[in-house]
A and B are shown apart, each in its own frame.
Chain A
Amino acid sequence: METSGSRPTPDEAAAALLDAGSARDQLSHRLTLPSWFHTSIGLAVVVQTATLAVGVADQSSAGIGLAVAGLVPFVLVAVVQLVRFRRLNGVWVGGLASRVVFGSDAAASTVHFLAMGAAIWAAFEERWWLVGLCAVAGGVGYAFCGVRWMRSYRGDPAAHSRGESVLLLVALIVPLFAGAVLLLVGAR
């Protein structure tokens, strides 16, 4: 860090901070989400939760295949919406990608895991209406957490703009991927 001897006056310092903060807030408020952003992510979570529950309860290779296939629409929706967001705004916001889309936000992941757990239990009990209900609740909760994050981001963009480190995401994704592969191999 290079320090300087020329100190601004208190008025100059206040004006500089106000101006900089205002520019940052304008940028964050100008960002717009692509159409159907939260809805599409919520729907993808509904499909993923329902297929996971039905697939796991089926306890066959076809069932495990269905559970893994349920991830495909989720990944597709996530990638498409993130590309659209970047193209629309000319910015990348790591916090949006990791917390809203990939659900690393504590509330979103809790809702998602609870919904998946309840849906799997309901599928083993063959209460298919309850599987659907849990999947829809999971999707709505997930999308709602995204809306809430967006509100927090606009209130304090500097505190929310950064996503999880690549290392943490890899640490989360690798065991999930390995688990899916083991399930597929074990079911054959």
Chain B
Amino acid sequence: MAELDRHLLAPARLKLTTMLTAVSEVEFAVLRDGLGVSDSVLSKHVATLADAGYVRSRKGTHEGRRTTWVALSPTGRKVLRNHVAALREIIDGVD
């Protein structure tokens, strides 16, 4: 049976990691606008997920300014898949 991951129980983090499955790497501002959160809130989520090894972030540039690029790690992809399967089991009523 699939298991829920405590880092992904926060809806914003589930949303963030799910968004990352659509791309290989995304710029911080694009992620912030997509999630509809502030810079500081997104920074905290990214830091938490990076500490858990679910995302990778690196400093880079975009349109001539310094920014952060975020990507889902292989571990994050695996954990997300498990977490989504666990949520689907809950929806389907599997104990």
The SS class assigned to the B binding surface is helix
Q: Is there contact, CB below 8 Å, between B52 and A8? A: no
In the assembled complex, how far is the CB of residue B72 from the closest CB belonging to chain A, in whole angstroms?
Answer: 10
Task: Kindly list chain A residues whose C-beta atoms are within 8 Å of the C-beta of B25.
Answer: 91-92
Q: How many residues of A contact B (CB 8 A)?
A: 35
**B3 at interface by CB-CB < 8 Å:** yes
Would you call B15 and A13 a contact (CB within 8 A)? Answer: no
Number of chain B residues whose Cβ lies closer than 8 Å to a Cβ of chain A: 36
A163 near B24: Cβ-Cβ < 8 Å:
yes
User: A interface, by DSSP: helix, strand, loop or mixed?
Assistant: helix
Contact with B along A77-97 (1 / 0, CB 8 A): 000000000010111111100
Residues of the B chain whose Cβ atoms lie less than 8 Å from the Cβ of A148: none
**Cβ-defined contact, A3 with B4, below 8 A:** yes
Q: For A2, A10, A89, A161, which residue has the most chain B Cβ atoms within 10 angstroms?
A: A2
Q: Which B positions have Cβ atoms within 8 angstroms of A?
A: 3-7, 9, 11, 14-15, 17-19, 21-27, 29-30, 34-35, 52, 62-63, 69, 78-79, 82, 84, 87-88, 90-91, 93
